[in-house]
Amino acid sequence: MKIEPSLKMSIFEPAIFGDLKAAAEAKKATGAEVVDLSLGSPDLPPDEKVRQALSEQSALATTYGYTLSGTKRFNEAVANYYQRRSGVTLNPDTEIIQTMGSQEGLVHLPFALCNEGDIVLTTNPAYVAYDAGIKLAGAVPYYMPLRAENGFLPNLDDIPEDIARKAKLLILNLPGNPVPALPDATFFDKVVAFAKEYNVPVLHDAAYSEYYFTGDSPSSFLSTPGAMEVGMEINSLSKSFSLAGARIAYIVGNAEMISIIRQLKSNLDYGIFGPIQEAAATALDHAEEITDRLRKEFSQRHKVLMNGLAEIGWSVTPSNGGMFVWAKYPFELDDKEFVFKAIEQCGVVMVPGSIFGTEGAGFVRLALVQKVEELEKAVAQLSTLDM
Ligand SMILES: Cc1ncc(COP(=O)(O)O)c(C=O)c1O
């Protein structure tokens, strides 16, 4: 039998993580110490109350049915969390929809709002799932560069008028992956004004909203006046509550947009396992306590890695939040070549910036997913590089 991938499969390139892992294993096999800062999968365990809720609920005989578009308990926990954290009032029945991790929501969302050939405004660099969703929907990305001179924020004023008029979706991610930039108070006001002027729905990916280390928590996009009219926020339990493997997230915001997504999803899946929803609701009920602990640990890590890299001559993008450090290494070398050489020479595993877009060339992303001592070790190992 001759098996051929569909034409659409040509939009997907093999992910680099497998190659990074193989290079790291080869280095380990030589007896060297390897510090892996590549994947953004949280290393802290979920809170005990959350694990207990999952275990109690899954022991019941009655929790194994389809949950369809989500349980009332989960949606109410999301609404309460938004009210407490951001002062945003959400209707649990009409303004919240759960997704099987935010990746699933992100990949399917452009399908719900865009036709073939429509333009989606997204950043360069950006989290790779945005491009996957845009291209699967047959839409066309228009990339807004994230550059140092603009504080690594997209500049909406630079979008040509004809592109803005044709756009059917604007995707933002602050603090972001891979660039952990945070906007000032006026940025989302500009986004709402832009969305209204050009009739462009907005999706803010708030996956790292609980990762802030100084000052106030990053604002929810939905707390901006007018935001509920123009957009949505997608957030995940993966990062803030260490539930990456449980695959639970949600989209909140404009009821009409949510209803379109609900219709799409009712044809794609039958909902998330009930006990996972209960565990996630428990996490949201205790969000303040759980995320305070997370911030204490990650702010230490953030400080150690940011300062350590700066001390050895790397140019580190300033940030007060996020789960990653975005940095320029002090060598004239292509970033893909650099990360493999770095594994070989010193056993530190990083992600080349260019996999997130052309603007990432010359940068690397380092995830704060190891304890402080490991990060100190990583800096010491990186200081020995010679290229
Ligand atoms: C910005 C951003 N959004 C979404 C996700 C997807 O997370 P999940 O599907 O686990 O919710 C990630 C994962 O790394 C991410 O970095």
pLDDT digits (tens, 9 = 90+) for 334-380: 999 999 999 999 999 999 999 999 999 999 999 999 999 999 999 99
pLDDT tens digit string along 207-262? 999 999 987 788 899 999 999 999 999 999 999 999 999 999 999 999 999 999 99
207 lines ligand 1 (CB under 6 A): yes
Residue of 342, 249, 303, 300 lying closest to 34 (CA atoms): 342
In ligand 1, which atom is closest to the CA atom of 208? 1
Structural domains of the chain, with CATH = 7-45+289-382 (3.90.1150.10), 48-287 (3.40.640.10)
Q: What gap in Å lies between CA 288 and CA 138, rounded to an integer?
A: 40
From 298, 224, 294, select the one nearest 254 (Cα to Cα).
Answer: 224
Give the pTM: 0.96
Which of 78, 102, 232, 351 has most ligand 1 atoms within 8 Å of CB, for mutation? 102
Burial code (b: 16+ CB inside 10 Å, e: under 16) for 306-335 equals: bebbeeeebebbebbbbbbbbbbbebeeeb
Query: According to the model, what pLDDT value does residue 114 have?
Result: 97
Pairing of strands 167-172, 202-205: parallel
Task: Give distance in angstroms: CA of 290 to centre of ligand 1.
Answer: 19
Q: Would you say the CB of residue 369 lies under 6 angstroms from ligand 1?
A: no
Per-residue pLDDT of the chain (387 residues; tens, 9 = 90+): 999 999 989 888 888 999 999 999 999 999 999 999 999 989 999 999 999 999 999 999 999 999 998 899 999 999 999 999 999 999 999 999 999 999 999 999 999 999 999 999 999 999 999 999 999 999 999 999 999 999 999 999 999 999 999 999 999 999 999 999 888 879 999 999 999 999 999 999 999 999 999 877 888 999 999 999 999 999 999 999 999 999 999 999 999 999 999 999 999 999 999 999 999 999 999 999 999 999 999 999 999 999 999 999 999 999 999 999 999 999 999 999 999 999 999 999 999 999 999 999 999 999 999 999 999 999 999 999 998
Q: Is the CB of 363 under 6 A from ligand 1?
A: no
Distance 103 CA to ligand 1 centre (A): 6
Does residue 152 line the site of ligand 1, with CB under 6 A? no
Count of Cβ atoms closer than 10 Å to residue 8 Cβ: 10
Enter the tokens of residue 365.
Answer: 């992303």
What residues have CB less than 8 Å from 185, skipping those under 6 apart?
219
Would the CB of 250 count as within 6 Å of ligand 1? no
Instruction: Name the β-bridge partners of 378.
Output: none
The total number of residues written for the chain in this structure: 387
Residue 186, CA atoms < 13 Å, CB-side half-sphere = 2
Describe the crossing of helices 287-311 and 72-86 by its angle, rounded to 10 degrees. Answer: 60
Bond into 92 cis (ω within 30): no
Question: Residue 160, preceding bond cis, omega within 30 degrees?
Answer: no
Q: Under DSSP, is residue 52 helix (H, G, I), strand (E, B) or coil?
A: helix
